[in-house]
Amino acid sequence: MAMEQYGEAIWLDGVFHDPKDANTSVMSHAIHYGSGFFEGIRAYATPDGPAIFQLKEHIERLFRSCAYYHVTIPYTVDELVQATIDLVDRNGFEACYIRPFVFLGTPWQALMAKDTEVHVGISCWQLGEYFEKGTGIRAKVASYRRVSSTMMPMQAKAAANYMNSQLLKGEALRDGFDEAIALDMNGNVSEASVANLFLVKGNKISTPSLDCSVLDGITRQAIMRIARDQGYEVIERHIGRDELYVADEIFLTGTAAEITSVAEIDHISINGGRNDVANELLGLYRKAATGHLEEYAGWLTYVTPAVAE
C-alpha cells in the first residue's frame, strides 16, 4: 500500500503527521517483543456524511486490551474518540477503515521495562471488500489450534495473538482456501483467523461461547442483536467440528469481513452454499451502519455532527 493511500495525515502521540513521517525506532519494545494492541473500525458513507460504527465501544475495548498487560494509555477514551473523528475529517474520507494502535517504544532492553514509553497512533485508509460477497468463501479447519486463554488473554486484541492468526490464514491460503477455521484446545469450534463464526440450523443461530478462545467481536455483538430483533433465537455455546458440515448456513462476522457467507468447509458444500440468513443480516447491518435504521442510530458517531436549526 503506497503511503499516499493513508490520506494526508496519521495521528501519532497527539500530533498529526504526514504518513511518511509517522515513524518509530527499530529499537522499539513492540518490534522485539510484540507489545502492541489495536482496533479495527469502519466509517461508512451516510446521507449525513461519514459516520464511524461503534467508535466508543472500539476505543473502550482498546483500553481493556492494554489493561490485561498493565499498559496505561496516556489519553482518555474521549480524547481518542475525538482524535479519530478529527483524523477522518482531516483526510476527507467518506468511508474508510480506521486502525487505532498502542505500542511500547523505547527503552526495549528489558522484557518488562518500567520506563518504556507508551505510544498511541491512529491511521485510516479506504477499504473495499475484505472477502468478495456473493457465492460464499471456501474454508478449511486448520491444523493449528486457537491459543487458549489459559496461556494468553484472548479477549485482548493484542498484536502477539495475531501470529496465531497468521499461521491459520497462511495454511488456508497455501492449501487453496480463502479462510481458516480454528478449533480451541478442547476441539470446539473457535473462530476464523480474524472473524467470528455463526452457524444457522433452522431458526436458531449459534456462535461459539467466549470460553472457546473467541474474541468478543463488536460486529459479533451487533449481529446477535440484529438477529434477535428479527426473531431468531441466538445461542452462545460449544460447537463441535462435525456440526459445521451439516449446518443450514455458516457465516463470519468482523469489522473488515462484515457478514461473509461460508459456502464450503474442507471440500464439503454447506447446504449447497445457502446464504439466505447471511444476506438478510448483511443487508440490515449495512442499513444500520449507513444511518438508515433509526433503532440502531446510537451505534454511529458522525464525523461532522448535524447543525441544529
157 is annotated as an active-site residue:
yes
The answer to whether the predicted template modeling score (pTM) of the entire model surpasses 0.85 is: yes
Name the active-site residue from 114, 133, 140, 157: 157
Name the DSSP letter for residue 270. S
Q: Is the pLDDT of residue 76 over 80?
A: yes
Confidence (pLDDT) at 176: 98
| Rounded distance between C-alpha atoms, residue 196 and residue 259, angstroms | 10
Largest Cα–Cα distance of the chain, in whole Å? 59
When pLDDT is averaged across residues 203-226 and rounded to a whole number, the result is: 97
When pLDDT is averaged across residues 165-184 and rounded to a whole number, the result is: 98
Name the DSSP letter for residue 143. S
Name the DSSP letter for residue 145. P
Q: Is the pLDDT of residue 27 over 60?
A: yes
Q: Is the pLDDT of residue 73 over 70?
A: yes
| Rounded distance between C-alpha atoms, residue 299 and residue 290, angstroms | 10
Proportion of the chain above pLDDT 90, given as a percent: 91
Q: Is the pLDDT of residue 1 over 60?
A: no
Domains of the chain: 3-125 (3.30.470.10), 137-294 (3.20.10.10)
When pLDDT is averaged across residues 117-129 and rounded to a whole number, the result is: 94
CA-based nearest residue to 50, from 90, 12, 83, 18: 90
Q: Which residues contact 51 (CB under 8 A, 6 or more apart)?
A: 43, 44, 289, 290, 291, 300, 301, 302, 303
Q: pLDDT for 78-89, tens place per residue?
A: 999 999 999 999
When pLDDT is averaged across residues 81-105 and rounded to a whole number, the result is: 97
Of residues 113 and 61, more confidently modeled = 61
Q: In the predicted model, what is the mean pLDDT of the chain?
A: 95
Q: pLDDT for 234-251, tens place per residue?
A: 999 999 999 999 999 999
Give the three cell numbers for residue 309. Answer: 436549526
| Rounded distance between C-alpha atoms, residue 217 and residue 231, angstroms | 21
| Rounded distance between C-alpha atoms, residue 229 and residue 232, angstroms | 7
The phi, psi pair for 180, rounded to 5°, reads -110, 150
The phi, psi pair for 220, rounded to 5°, reads -55, -50
| Rounded distance between C-alpha atoms, residue 62 and residue 271, angstroms | 38
When pLDDT is averaged across residues 132-146 and rounded to a whole number, the result is: 92
Confidence (pLDDT) at 110: 83
| Rounded distance between C-alpha atoms, residue 196 and residue 203, angstroms | 19
CA-based nearest residue to 94, from 133, 122, 129, 52: 52
Q: Which residue in the block uniquely carries the three cell numbers 444500520?
A: 288
Give the three cell numbers for residue 27. Answer: 529499537
CA-based nearest residue to 218, from 12, 45, 65: 65
| CA-CA-CA-CA torsion sign (198, 41, 39, 8) | positive
Confidence (pLDDT) at 308: 43
When pLDDT is averaged across residues 95-112 and rounded to a whole number, the result is: 93
Confidence (pLDDT) at 307: 44
Interaxial angle between packed helices 276-289 and 218-229, expressed in degrees from 0 to 180 and rounded to the nearest 10: 110
Q: Is the pLDDT of residue 204 over 90?
A: yes
